[in-house]
Amino acid sequence: MNKKFVALSLCILFAGTAFADGIVDGDAEAGKNKAVTCGACHGADGNSVNPVWPSLAGQHPTYTVAQLQAFKNGTRSEPLMLGQVMSLSDEDMRNLAVYFASLPAAAKAVADPATVDRGQRLYRGGDRDNKSSACIACHGPTGRGNPAAAYPSLKGQYATYTATQLRAYASGARQSDGTTKVMRDIASSLSEEDIVAVASYIQGLQ
């Protein structure tokens, strides 16, 4: 069976299994107090001003919690984050996630208008020749993602950051997609030009 078809099927199969109804029980006010340090890289309002670092505003709390846990247990490697998460309790993570989810994500334009057609085609339809699945299957038509399955919201995320993460998945450096290898399989089927194009398109999603 085609691996990309399996990956696409898993997006549907595991929807709703990460957190019941995509709900995270947290205290946004406590998260706000804890988030002061986070603002140095991710922006005081959760919207990063550096394209190397992701914006967290409006991100699903299920995904944020999952990534904080991955940083702490070593499933996702990032030296800058390791020092920040080691002192966080599970409650802290939930509080931070709920707080950032409550913040409005800033809209952005596509990073490179010259690649938007290619990026849109890949995002919405995939590439049959390379057997890569469409991003829309898991992340939705507007990049909103699936909170119940902890599939992240991508809309408005910096193209630089998104492209970096796709390259990390493609090389195997990032393995936080677990045993399903959904993102590693998809990213490894993309060319560098594909990665740049789809990342640019994602930045402009609203």
Confidence at residue 2, expressed as pLDDT on a 0 to 100 scale: 52
129 lies in the same domain as 81: no
Sign of CA pseudo-dihedral 79, 187, 148, 146: positive
> In three state form, how does the secondary structure of 51-70 look?
CCCCCCCCCCHHHHHHHHHH
Residues 112 and 85 both lie in one domain: no
Which among 69, 101, 133 is the end of a domain? 101
The reply to whether 10 and 64 lie within a common domain is no
pLDDT at 128: 84
Q: Are 97 and 141 within one domain?
A: no
pLDDT at residue 15 in the model: 40
Report the pLDDT value the prediction gives residue 142, as an integer from 0 to 100: 96
Number of domains making up the chain: 2
> In the chain, which stretches have pLDDT less than 70?
1-22
Domain boundary among 66, 101, 136: 101
Domain that holds residue 32: 22-101
Domain boundary among 76, 101, 126: 101
Residue 177 has a pLDDT of 87
Same domain, 32 and 81: yes
3-class SS of residue 106: coil
pLDDT of residue 9: 43
Same domain assignment for residues 85 and 162 = no
16 CB burial (10 A radius; 0-12, 13-18, 19+) = middle
Q: Are 122 and 195 members of one domain?
A: yes
Question: What pTM does this model have?
Answer: 0.88
